[in-house]
Structure 1
Amino acid sequence: MSGPLQVLALVGFPALALLAARHVKQVAWLGPVVVCYAFGILLGNVPGVVLSERLSLSVSEAAVPLAIPLLLFSTDVRRWWRLARSTLLSFVLACGSAMAGSALVGLMVRERSDEWWKMSGMLVGVYTGGTANMNAIGLALRVREETLILLNTADIVVGAVYLLFLVTVAQRIALKFLPPFPTATGWDDAPEQVRTALFPRRQVGGMVLALLLAAVLVGLSVGASQVVLGGLEPPVVLLVLTSASLAASFHPAVRHLPSYALGDYALLVFCVAVGTLADASRLGEASLFVFAFCAAVVGVSVGLHFALAALFRIDADTALITSTATIFGPPFIGPVARALRNRELVVSGLTTGLMGYAVGTYLGLGVAWLLRP
């Protein structure tokens, strides 16, 4: 396959996946992320189709740094401190539980894989923030492509099981040991970027500005690494980029740019590109271990979070919505809040989900470096 055609497939397919998710029930049920990964794996393993591994790797390494600022521009840091005390506390406990759970499971299975500490750090990133954080940490730690795709796939499957639990019996079980949700005051507005699945035409100009600003911040972060350290160090680049993006979000003009959907699109491009790097013959060798690792981390992290919520007397709905915010991120807040029959949770859930995007990379890299043999 020629270079331009390969780039077109990597960058263009997510648009088809998003469009199909709106009109095809099966695609909507699977989700664009799963479809993009599946397409990438299929494209990379079709007999007779020769792809440039370097080109796919370049696209994947460019997509995540662009996604980080685009996702963080909409963060309103000042709002964090206006959340109810119980919401902030539950969010902190959920993050701490994810860190402890990932570290504990990693230490227990450290003899099974030389990348166990990297996997622990990546799972901290995704279970405090989101897919962008996990993949950013994976790129920063130079994790193998097979591990990256397996961990993303395991996260999707394990996450689906936990989501089913959240929208069915979770509230009834949680109320057996947590107090009920009290009446609280919430905000009436939710970030428009979070609710936007596709790109409205009226927002194209704002998206172009957001993309240009994101590219500038990426360039500055790379330049800072080159000047200070004399070379390109991915962990430094990503930490500087995250900090710069959060700093930019303090400006109202930046915060109101329609950047969130564009950042989500960049993640889908990453999914396709990484999928093409996955050798199907090698995926089966380690898949069971990675799936078990991921499931164990979720089980320990969620169990510890709810045990701490009971200790601090956090209500059931707040514990469930902050668990959703950290495990899944903002897109799933609405469905879970609806299942809990509690509209007041929507905005606080969205905000803590965005907070997770902001801190996930820091926490994940921190845990990985602490565990590094």
Structure 2
Amino acid sequence: MVVSLVGVLGLTLTGWWISRSTGIGRQLGTTMVVLLIGFLVTNVTGWQPQTAAVNWVSGPLTSLAITQLLLAVDLRRIWPEARRLFAPFVVAVVATLLAVLLGAVLLKPWLLGNSTVLAGIYTATFTGGSLNFVSVARTLQPPEPLLLLATAADHVVFATWFGLSILIGRRWGKEVESVAPQLHRDELDAPSRSDGPRVLWSLLWGGAVLCTAELMTALIQRGWSDCPSILVLTTTALIAAQLPGASLRSGCYGLGLLLIQPFFTVIGLSSPLTGLFGSGWPVFLYAVWIVAVQGVLLLVLRSWQRWPLVESLVASQAAIGGPSTALALATSLNRPALAMPGVAIGLLGYLIGTYLGLLSAFLLGLT
């Protein structure tokens, strides 16, 4: 595990350095760079980190990163922007549901009896992110080979749409002055050596929230055993973010943004193309279909409704990838005022994605 963990962190630091030191790296942003590095490494060398290392990055480290990011969410500051994301987010979710159901019918002969399970999994993950993917997969219990193919397809399609969103947003997006207060520049950057006190206070707040959330989860699960712990964590962090002492949490956003990057490295490393273009091509095609339909419908409707392009792309990313990827896209497109609203809208996907996934599987199971 240690060697794998060092490898993941080393690739993340390499991506961080490239994004700070090169012109193309600054254009792409840290998140896209580490995604590409992980994707290239696994597909060129075949190396993938051990499961224990992946679980540590996706579990405790990402939980801490999400906690830090949410501790910067002052709901009084984000609502003027968040409500602008709500309509395109709803369209993205509805478009995903339509694409899932129609795709399951069209591709049913090639999915070999797996259309119901895949519909549930992909509805969940493309309306709320990988958290919902895991939740629904645990409930529907697909065969291990199918789960691996579905995971790889999910990651490849997500990474592709994330990259396209950056290109589209930077090519055609307009610079817009936010009407809501923005985070200060020092809240957006990764911590520096002079930020010791801010980092320490941020870690103390994060540790306190994590401990509180674990205790609350243990209590809640005595009566509701299937309660997702991530919902308790995000709710606890959001409540804590509204408490007095905002100045002591001023470093949370930058620290969280730094700590979330290994998660994207792992996503890149978990996206091997082997198998997707062999027997797994129907699974991959299904995932491509869903995201393509969602993206096209959203872009068409946003043109008709005159929604701002960048806001629509962030809302789409909140549905497909969840709060952390919506946040990453907003910062990659130099729209920090949309970072926290993207997290807020993404949390709605956390709340509804699992239920929508199970609903899709149920509806297709009736046919």
| 5+ long unaligned stretches in structure 2 | 139-146, 318-325, 363-367
Asked if the contact 2:152–2:272 (Cα under 8 Å) also holds between the matched residues in 1, the reply is no
Q: Give, in whole Å, the separation in 2 of the partners of 1:102 and 1:243.
A: 26
Q: Give, in whole Å, the separation in 1 of the partners of 2:328 and 2:57.
A: 25
Among 267, 270, 285, the residue aligned to 2:260 = 267
| Residues 8/306 of structure 1: CA separation in 2 closer, same or farther (3 Å cut) | same
Q: 1:221-259, CA deviations, whole angstroms, 9 ceiling, x for partnerless residues?
A: 5424543345xx4x6212222211111111132583422
Asked if the contact 1:40–1:275 (Cα under 8 Å) also holds between the matched residues in 2, the reply is yes
Cross-structure match for 2:144: none
Q: Give, in whole Å, the separation in 2 of the partners of 1:38 and 1:297.
A: 23
- The answer as to 2:246 corresponding to 1:246 is no
Among 342, 351, 355, the residue aligned to 1:366 = 355
1:333 is displaced (CA, Å) by: 4.5
Cross-structure match for 2:159: 156
Helix, strand or coil for the counterpart of 1:297? helix
Q: 1:165-194, CA deviations, whole angstroms, 9 ceiling, x for partnerless residues?
A: 4444466xxxxxxxxx9xx99245435576
| Residues 50/325 of structure 1: CA separation in 2 closer, same or farther (3 Å cut) | closer
What does 1:336-355 correspond to in 2, within 5 Å? 349-355=338-344
Asked if the contact 1:70–1:214 (Cα under 8 Å) also holds between the matched residues in 2, the reply is no
| Residues 241/29 of structure 1: CA separation in 2 closer, same or farther (3 Å cut) | same
1:123 is displaced (CA, Å) by: 1.6
Cross-structure match for 1:59: 57
| Residues 261/334 of structure 1: CA separation in 2 closer, same or farther (3 Å cut) | closer
| Residues 365/48 of structure 1: CA separation in 2 closer, same or farther (3 Å cut) | closer
Q: 1:87-123, CA deviations, whole angstroms, 9 ceiling, x for partnerless residues?
A: 6654221121011011000001123443222212222
- The answer as to 2:296 corresponding to 1:303 is no
Q: 1:274-322, CA deviations, whole angstroms, 9 ceiling, x for partnerless residues?
A: 4445554224333344223212111123333444x3xxxxxx4x53343
| Residues 191/75 of structure 1: CA separation in 2 closer, same or farther (3 Å cut) | farther
Cross-structure match for 1:13: 11
1:12 is displaced (CA, Å) by: 4.2
Asked if the contact 1:94–1:301 (Cα under 8 Å) also holds between the matched residues in 2, the reply is yes
Q: Give, in whole Å, the separation in 2 of the partners of 1:148 and 1:221.
A: 30
Among 292, 306, 320, the residue aligned to 2:309 = 320
1:27 is displaced (CA, Å) by: 3.7
1:351 is displaced (CA, Å) by: 4.7
Which 10-residue stretch deviates more, 4-13 or 35-44?
35-44
Cross-structure match for 2:100: 106
**What is the one-letter code of the residue matched to 2:71?**
F
Asked if the contact 2:88–2:315 (Cα under 8 Å) also holds between the matched residues in 1, the reply is yes
Aligned residues: 328
- The answer as to 2:112 corresponding to 1:119 is no
Q: Give, in whole Å, the separation in 1 of the partners of 2:73 and 2:213.
A: 18
| Residues 31/89 of structure 1: CA separation in 2 closer, same or farther (3 Å cut) | closer
Among 91, 99, 102, the residue aligned to 1:97 = 91
Among 346, 350, 354, the residue aligned to 1:357 = 346
| Residues 350/278 of structure 1: CA separation in 2 closer, same or farther (3 Å cut) | closer
| Residues 136/195 of structure 1: CA separation in 2 closer, same or farther (3 Å cut) | same
Cross-structure match for 2:131: 136
| Residues 75/88 of structure 1: CA separation in 2 closer, same or farther (3 Å cut) | closer
What does 1:67-78 correspond to in 2, within 5 Å? 67-78=65-76
| 5+ long unaligned stretches in structure 1 | 126-133, 172-180, 310-315, 338-345
**What is the one-letter code of the residue matched to 2:202?**
M
Asked if the contact 1:194–1:331 (Cα under 8 Å) also holds between the matched residues in 2, the reply is no
Asked if the contact 2:48–2:269 (Cα under 8 Å) also holds between the matched residues in 1, the reply is no
Q: 1:317-339, CA deviations, whole angstroms, 9 ceiling, x for partnerless residues?
A: x53343143235345547768xx
Superposition CA RMSD, Å: 3.5
Cross-structure match for 1:24: 22
| Residues 188/240 of structure 1: CA separation in 2 closer, same or farther (3 Å cut) | closer
**What is the one-letter code of the residue matched to 1:320?**
L
The TM-score with structure 2 as length reference comes to: 0.74
Q: Give, in whole Å, the separation in 2 of the partners of 1:267 and 1:145.
A: 23
| Residues 51/22 of structure 1: CA separation in 2 closer, same or farther (3 Å cut) | closer
Cross-structure match for 2:150: 147
* Identity of matched residues, %: 16
